[in-house]
Amino acid sequence: MLELIQQSAHHILEKTNHFKPTIGIILGSGLGGLVKEIEVKYTIPYTEIPNFPQSTVHGHKGQLILGYLSGKPVLAMQGRFHFYEGYDMKQITFPVRVMKQMGIEKLIVSNAAGGMNPEFQLGELMIIKDHINLFPSNPLIGKNDDTLGPRFLDMSEAYCKEYRELAKQIAEKNNIRVKEGVYLGVSGPCFETPAEYRAFWRLGADAVGMSTVPEVIVAKHGGMKVFGMSIITDLGIEGHVENVSHEEVLKVATAQEPKMTLIVKELIKMIG
């Protein structure tokens, strides 16, 4: 696998005159707003990158954007890969391996998620404190390449505490309401039944979504620091589970974009 990762990283570095981002960003559903804030230097479609999987979901573009955000060199993935699309865990997380190979040590991830915490409102911003992996697999299954990371990975602080504190301070300073909570990752593509939302809340999760967990596991495997945020686009609160559609998820995510963008921009200023 190392050879494939090196090949992709090498291609990106060649195409960008050896531009060296320090932060990787994975942009989730409807969070494209951040892209408009990037001073774009290079755009590379996934189709041009050797060994990269391709994106199939409506509303997800498939390209890497390299440039400056808050004056810091970043690499943003516009379009990510999901388990429900049929990719395996290694394919989904391949771009994170490539980021690490390029020298990126910090990862910022965003997603849309359904909220189970009864204190949550529609459109709530949630800083991810921790996760529960209920995907039917794990990207680290199989022979471990010790040059990429350890066989048995410590996950006691998957989401960097320092970054979470900084994000909370930024939110407070800018009068942005944020919550902190546990994200539970599932394969999808079904949204949850009321019984599933209830079960996940009882398991200790505040929100549920179909991404992020695989990428974060691999980022941690590579020793990267991670910051993650969810936009609560629908509510799966006991007794109040409503109809949910992809369109509705995108609509709510888009409406909340500017707040999330501001937090991430300010955070990058501090950590980049």
Distance (Å, whole) CA 231 – CA 251: 11
Residue 255 within binding range of ligand HPA, rule CB under 6 A:
no
By CB under 6 A, how many residues form the interface with ligand HPA?
A: 13
* CA 44 distance to own-chain centroid: 19
Q: Is 24 in the site for ligand HPA (CB under 6 A)?
A: no
What is the chain's Cα-based Rg? 17
Q: Give kind and range of the element (H or E) at residue 111.
A: strand 106-115
**Is 206 a residue that touches ligand HPA (CB under 6 A)?**
no
Q: Is residue 192 part of the contact set for ligand HPA (CB under 6 A)? A: yes
63 and 95 in contact (C-beta within 8 Å)?
A: no
Give SS3 for 94. Answer: helix
- Determine, following the binding rule CB under 6 A, whether residue 125 of this chain makes contact with ligand HPA: no
C-alpha 187/C-alpha 213 separation (Å) is 10
User: Nearer Cβ to ligand HPA, position 171 or 249?
Assistant: 249
Closer CB to ligand HPA, 166 or 210, in the complex: 210
- Name which of 82 and 100 has its Cβ closer to ligand HPA: 82
Which residue in 249, 263, 264, 271 binds ligand HPA (CB under 6 A)? 249
Q: Which amino acid is at 65?
A: I
Strand, coil or helix: 95: helix
Q: Which of 236, 241, 256, 259 binds ligand HPA (CB under 6 A)?
A: 236
User: With respect to ligand HPA, which residue has the nearer C-beta, 171 or 213?
Assistant: 213
Tokens of 156: 């006691």
The site for ligand HPA (CB under 6 A) is made up of 112-114, 191-192, 208-210, 233-234, 236, 244, 249
